[in-house]
Amino acid sequence: MSVKILCHSFAALHFWFGCYYDWNYVEIPTDVHRMGSSFGKSGKLKFLTFWDAILQAVFFTICVINDVIGTNEDAPKKTPFIRRIKDLILTCLAFPLSMFVGLTFWCIYFVDRELIFPRALDKFFPVWLNHAMHTNIMIFILIELYTSYRKYPSRKFGMSVLSVFMLIYLIWIHIIHAYSGAWVYPILDVLNLPLRIVFFVGLFGLTLSLYLLGEKLNGVLWSKRLHIAKKR
């Protein structure tokens, strides 16, 4: 068994177990924090963190399948379907979303953690799970970016896929707010409508910037390697 299969399998199991544990064992009483309420039976699906953790689990599962029946060549002449799916998910969603979730969570956390992850939740949400959902997502995807080449789609296509995904989530949290009368994230409670609009536009811009960052990093990491490989 190759090192890549082992690493991808570990990453996939890591995120699948994190999602399973969070869904089945993390219960936050509503009298501790309203974040624990069902928000219209939306459960953990109200959080972008959970969406992203599922995405990472699916992505690394696809990586394992690609390791077995696809190819990990830097620039194959004929790219298998599973490899194309792997490349598209990483470029359009897995990289920008993992970086977005991790960076925004920890930036707000260090400014005022009560706005994103109140201390009252510490008894119910294990530290290891917090890092699995908000730290390891960045670490694993950066390792993948460094160790495996992927072909980026056209910028228009990639950013369109990411924009649609973020728009769907934005609509979703507004549906939850309309149904329950409460915002999913405490930070939204302290912002009036104009500031919320600025906040959402800023986060949207950050997400697209992270897409461009991934594209740039991919070029920096792999253009020289591919150039050397072609000379051999």
Q: What is the DSSP string of 2-53?
A: -HHHHHHHHHHHHHHHHHHHHHHH----TTT-GGGS-TTTTGGGG-HHHHHH
- Residues 78-102 have pLDDT tens digits of 889 999 999 999 999 999 999 999 9
pLDDT above 80: residue 151:
yes
User: Distances in Å between the alpha carbon of 13 and those of 27, 102, 215?
Assistant: 22, 19, 27
Provide CB contacts within 8 A for 212, sequence distance 6+. Answer: 155
pLDDT tens-digit profile of 152-177? 999 999 999 999 999 999 999 999 88
206-227 per-position pLDDT tens digit: 999 999 999 999 988 887 665 4
What is the spatial distance between Cα 69 and Cα 62, in angstroms, rounded to a whole number? 10
**What average pLDDT is seen over the chain?**
89
Q: Which of 202, 170, 194 is closest to 183 using CA atoms?
A: 170
What's the CA gap between 85 and 76, in Å, rounded? Answer: 15
